[in-house]
Amino acid sequence: MPLNKHDRQYDLVVFGATGYTGKHTAEFVTKNLPTNLKWAVAGRSQPKLQAVVDACRELVADREQPAIEIADVTDEASIVALAKKTFIVISTAGPYSKYGETVFKACAENGTHYVDCTGEFPWVGNMITKYEKVAKASGALMFPQTGLESAP
């Protein structure tokens, strides 16, 4: 990751950080990524996000703790503002077919790299069809389906 080689406020943002996958992602970032990482946790609830930050601080107290960003997929302007602040968004807010497009689109349009862990193949195909050219034009690298999912 090209830390400090971009002009964004954050290196990465974990969006949906108060859910199961988001909390584990924030924990992984806290334990494994460079301690000078500029990052944030994002979602709808300030108190729940603060609890995630507090848990990160308990894991590794001497590292840069994440900032808190309030953003909601039902408020496109808040998602666009979030995408413009960061180099990479890790989106953990699903189901993606219901909540994912606003974040995917904002990243594609604003040159923000995007990672998610969806297993929703039709949704991914739809996002590629709709936003591939936009992402290429903005320089955004889009990586859906980077996780492992097992469902009946």
Per-residue pLDDT tens over the stretch 39-74 = 999 999 999 999 999 999 999 988 989 999 999 999
Which residues, including other chains, have CB under 8 Å from residue 6's CB and lie 6 or more apart?
87
Q: Is residue 95 part of a domain?
A: yes
User: Is 133 within a domain?
Assistant: yes
Say if 39 falls within a structural domain.
yes
Tell me the pTM.
Answer: 0.93
Domains identified in the chain, total number? 1
- Domain hosting residue 30, numbered range: 16-143
pLDDT of residue 4 exceeding 80: no
Classified as helix, coil or strand, 21 is: helix
For residue 6, is it within any domain? no
Q: Is residue 9 part of a domain?
A: no
- Domain presence at residue 2: no
Q: What is the CATH number of the domain that holds 109?
A: 3.40.50.720
Residue 107: inside a domain:
yes
Cα separation, 107 vs 139, whole angstroms: 10
